[in-house]
Amino acid sequence: MFEYELQQIRSAELIREAEHYRQAREARRAQRAHREENDAEGVQVRRRRVRRFRFPRAA
């Protein structure tokens, strides 16, 4: 009986995780669509992209 309960808990966890992943993907898709819509209208939006180096500079 204990293993069954653990399996049920794990299954519920995986379902929640999958739903979170789907929501995050949907949010990124909506952001991209909104950005493309603004670009099509000619709205200039300044996007700053900070480029950070993975490793520090050698001395």
Enumerate the domain spans of the chain: 1-59
Q: CA 53 to CA 59: how far, in whole Å?
A: 15
Q: CA 4 to CA 10: how far, in whole Å?
A: 10
- Return the pLDDT at 47: 65
Sequence letter at residue 3: E
Angle at 21 between CA 16 and CA 22, to 5 degrees: 95
Q: Say if residues 21 and 29 touch (Cβ distance below 8 Å).
A: no
For 19-34, the pLDDT digits (tens) are 999 999 999 999 999 9
For 1-55, the pLDDT digits (tens) are 899 999 999 999 999 999 999 999 999 999 999 988 887 766 665 666 777 777 7
- Return the pLDDT at 30: 95
pTM of the model: 0.56
Contacts of 38 (CB under 8 A, 6+ apart): 45
- Return the pLDDT at 56: 77
